[in-house]
Amino acid sequence: MLDIRIDSKSYGDQKVLGPLHLQLKQGEVVSLLGASGSGKSTLLSIVAGLDRDWRGSLQLDGAPLQGVHPAISLVFQEPRLFPWLTVAENLRFGLPSADDCGCEVDLLLEETGLHGLGQRLPKQLSGGQAQRAAIARGLMRRPRVLLLDEPFSAVDAFTRMKLQDLLLRIAAHHQLTILQVTHDIDEALYLSDRILVLPAGGGPLSGEFSVPAARPRSRSDAGLLPLKHQILDLLHLAEQTA
Amino acid sequence: MSDQAAIYLGQGGAHAPPAAGAEPLVQRTPNAVLHTPARHRQLPRWLLGLLLPAALLAAAELAVRSGTLAPNLLPPPSAILETIAELALRGLATHVAASTLRVAVGFTAGALAAILLGAATALHRPAHAIFDPSVQALRAIPSLAWVPLLLLWLGIDEAPKLVLIAIGAFFPVYMGVSAGIRGVDRKLVEVARLYRLTAAQQARQVLLPGALPSILTGLRNGLGMAWMFMVAAELIAASKGLGYLLSDGRETSRADIVLATILLLAVLGKASDSLMLRLEQRLLAWRDSFESPDHA
């Protein structure tokens, strides 16, 4: 469904990504892990169309992708809500006014647990509510692929768990393909169908793991411990070679 | 004891049973609230702001009346008020209106030019490279240095006064607009790019609101400068206006007229600044900035 082929991506003389080839299937949840500087966020920027300075190709259902595309949405590490707009206005941001019936906004607010908060300003939201609003905004244009750049790293552990469950519900409901960057192995194991480990300084994947657990998963699934240790060892190795 | 409860203070605390024969210190009805939080009894803010000027005026009145200060150098505030009343009968409103109109026209022209040039230099690097160094150099020129040139070029009519006021307003507004737009959070601009906004949509929907706090600060400072430059302009060549009144007071050795005019300038400047402040509070209600509870 989504085919990502990166020949090379560099910042000046420093190679960050590539050669790399990833393929994501419809409805798949994939997590990207890797040492700092392994280009995880850069990869998301490339797929989102924000970074144009790289060599390679992107295809969605066989059709080449150029630049920003409405079928692909990105949720950042911090909510990045426009502080002068209400939550509902943030959700409608950038939409042609013809699409602005308000029903989609209400549905998504309901779905993300923000019912009744549409008229609030971002400063009146908690960290978790703001991140929910950011996810809801990311879903407004009914994307097929949702990119998430450590979206839960700035919230407390309890809120994070609730947001993870919310994400899984939304992904299932909208048949979304999700590619997320995370530093949290437990989160990757809980959410993902596949976990990819990026090497530092470019090159092919250091590791690719399928998560052999049915949903709904338990957060303390002992059966996933060997996989966790395997990924941890790989990350330690990547950290040492970085 | 009736159905009224009573608070007894003493050993055992407020809820201890009363000692025999003890008198209740506070009677309370069943509806009374026992533990009301301590509330600060504060004067309204506008009244607090008047305390210092009122104290200074009272001190001046006392100093003159006791003979410590010569009344020809510092007339007592009561005499200044009489002068204002006297001026009011002799066309003070015309002078105030003339000055206010000059400030309004000069400020509007200067602010509009500053907004356009400030936005252009903030949005286009070549424009910044071409215009900004010259603007910064012109900004360093003292206001009075413009006067001879403006008189030479534009005569002594309204035009040089309005241009001088516009120059005064221009630079703070330019700085506010330019710095404001350049300071908008890059991450928010990235969101706008993600939503495929055109350059014009980005400017209107992201850059302008993001720069608004800085723009409004620039406008507020520009308005203050406009009042200052208005006085400079009217002191040099005017037949009406508050600057003219100042000049007239100096030439006729009427310190009361000079002080009355200064007082009026302070009131008008404060009033226009308060309007700008109110506008700022209204437009920037979304800001999640520090506001001390004592400052609210």
Could you read off the pLDDT of B180-196 as tens digits, one per residue?
Answer: 999 999 999 999 999 98
pLDDT at B100 over 60: yes
Q: Which residue of A has its CA nearest to B204?
A: A94
Our CA-based measurement puts residue A239 at a distance from the nearest CA of chain B, in whole angstroms, of: 28
Q: Tell me, what's the pLDDT at A102?
A: 63
DSSP state letters, B228-256 = HHHHHHHHHS-SSSHHHHHHHHHHTT-HH
Interchain contact, B187 vs A80, CB within 8 Å: yes
User: Alpha carbon of A84 to those of A58, A120, A121, A131, B212: distances in Å?
Assistant: 35, 10, 7, 17, 10
Chain B closest CA to A102's CA: distance in Å? 18
Distance in angstroms (rounded) separating the CA atoms of residues B270 and B268 = 5
Sort out which chain B residues have CB atoms less than 8 A from A91's CB and list them: none
Which residues on B lie below 8 Å from A49 (Cβ)?
Answer: 194
- Would you say residue A88 lies in a domain? no
Does residue A129 lie within any of the structural domains? no
Asked whether A75 and A153 are in contact (CB, 8 A), the reply is no
Is A95 within the bounds of a domain?
no
Q: Write the residue in A68, A70, A123 that is nearest to B193 by C-beta.
A: A68
Query: CA-based diameter of chain B, in Å?
Result: 96
**A121 interaction partners in chain B (CB closer than 8 Å):** 285-286
- Residue A27, pLDDT > 90, answer yes
- What is the pLDDT at residue B2? 41
In whole angstroms, give the CA distance from residue B157 to residue B272: 25
* Domain parsing of chain B, residue ranges: 91-281
Largest CA distance in chain A: 53
Taking the CA of residue B281 and the nearest CA in chain A, the distance in Å comes to 13
Within-domain flag for A166: yes
How many angstroms separate the CA atoms of B153 and B160, rounded? 8
- What pLDDT, on the 0 to 100 scale, is given for residue B11? 39
User: What's the structural domain count of chain A?
Assistant: 1
Question: Taking a C-beta distance cutoff of 8 angstroms, is the pair B96, B269 a contact?
Answer: no
| Average of per-residue pLDDT values in chain A | 90
| Spatial separation of the C-alpha atoms in residues A109 and A91, rounded to whole Å | 9
Query: pLDDT averaged over chain B?
Result: 85
Q: Which of A45, A46, A53, A84 to mutate to test the interface with B (most CBs of B within 10 A)?
A: A84
Q: For residue A22, give the amino acid letter.
A: L
Whole-angstrom distance, CA of residue A123 vs CA of residue B165:
39
- For residue A194, the tally of other CB atoms under 10 A from its CB is 18
CA atoms of A207 and B209, how far apart (whole Å): 45
H/E element, B151? helix B143-154
What CA–CA distance (Å, rounded) separates A174 from A193? 16
Identify the pLDDT of residue B3: 41
Which residues pair with residue A14 across a beta bridge?
A11
Q: What is the pTM of this model?
A: 0.81
With an 8 Å Cβ cutoff, are A83 and B286 in contact? yes
Question: Nearest-CA distance from B215 to chain A in Å?
Answer: 15
Q: Do A50 and B190 touch (CB under 8 A)?
A: yes
**Type of residue at A40:** K
- Residue A96 or B121, more confident: B121
Segment B275-288, tens digit of pLDDT: 999 999 999 999 98
| Residue A29 in domain | yes
The whole-number pLDDT of residue B41 equals 62
Residue A102 lies in a domain: no
Tell me which chain A residues have a C-beta less than 8 angstroms from the C-beta of B210.
84
**What are the structure tokens assigned to B199, written together?**
């350059």
For residues B277 and A216, the model is more confident at B277
Q: Look at residue A241 in the predicted model and tell me its pLDDT.
A: 72
Report, as an integer, the average pLDDT of B116-141.
95
B7-52 pLDDT, tens per residue? 333 333 444 444 444 444 444 444 444 454 555 566 787 788 889 9
Q: Three-class SS string for chain A?
A: CEEEEEEEEEECCEEEEECEEEEECCCCEEEEEECCCCCHHHHHHHHHCCCCCCEEEEEECCEECCCCCCCEEEECCCCCCCCCCCHHHHHHCCCCHHHCCCHHHHHHHHHCCCCCCCCCCHHHCCHHHHHHHHHHHHHCCCCCEEEEECCCCCCCHHHHHHHHHHHHHHHHHHCCEEEEECCCHHHHHHHCCEEEEECCCCECCCEEEECCCCCCCCCCCHHHHHHHHHHHHHHHHHHHHC
Of A129, A118, A57, A51, nearest in space to A85 by CA: A118
pLDDT score of B221 more than 50: yes
Does residue A164 belong to any structural domain of this protein?
yes
Flag the least confident range among A70-84, A223-237, B24-38: B24-38
What is the CATH number for A155?
Answer: 3.40.50.300
Reported as a single tens digit per residue, the pLDDT across A106-137 is 989 998 999 999 999 999 999 999 999 999 99
pLDDT tens digits, A150-161: 988 888 888 889
> Tokens standing for A24?
């994501």
**Top-tier CATH class for B91-281:** mainly alpha
For B182, the 3-state DSSP assignment is helix
> What band does B6 get if pLDDT is binned at 50, 70 and 90?
very low
ipTM metric = 0.88
Which residues in chain A touch residue B287, judged by CB atoms under 8 angstroms apart?
83, 123
> Which residues from chain A sit within 8 angstroms of residue B280, using beta carbons?
none
Q: Which residue of B has its CA nearest to A48?
A: B194
pLDDT at A20 over 80: yes
Neighbouring C-beta atoms of residue B233, cutoff 10 Å? 29
Count of CB atoms within 10 A of residue A19's CB? 13
The answer to the question of residue A107 being in a domain is no
A57 dihedral zone (left: phi>0; alpha: psi -120 to 50; beta): beta
Indicate if the pLDDT at residue A227 is higher than 70. yes
In this prediction, residue B288 carries a pLDDT of: 85
Q: Are A150 and A183 in contact (CB under 8 A)?
A: yes
Angle at B274 between CA B270 and CA B275, to 5 degrees: 120
Tokens representing residue A13 in the block: 């003389």
Nearest to A77 by CA among B190, B220, B264, B81: B190
Cα separations (Å) of A77 from A127, A165, A183, A191? 12, 17, 12, 17
Q: Could you give the CA distance from residue B278 to residue B219 in angstroms, rounded to a whole number? A: 13
Is residue A62 over pLDDT 60? yes
Q: What is the pLDDT of residue A242?
A: 64
Per-residue pLDDT, A101: 60
What does residue A30 show for φ and ψ, rounded to 5 degrees?
A: -120, 135
Q: Two tokens at B182?
A: 């350049």
Pick the closest to residue A153 from A235, A40, A77 (CA basis).
A77
Q: Is the pLDDT of residue A180 over 90?
A: yes
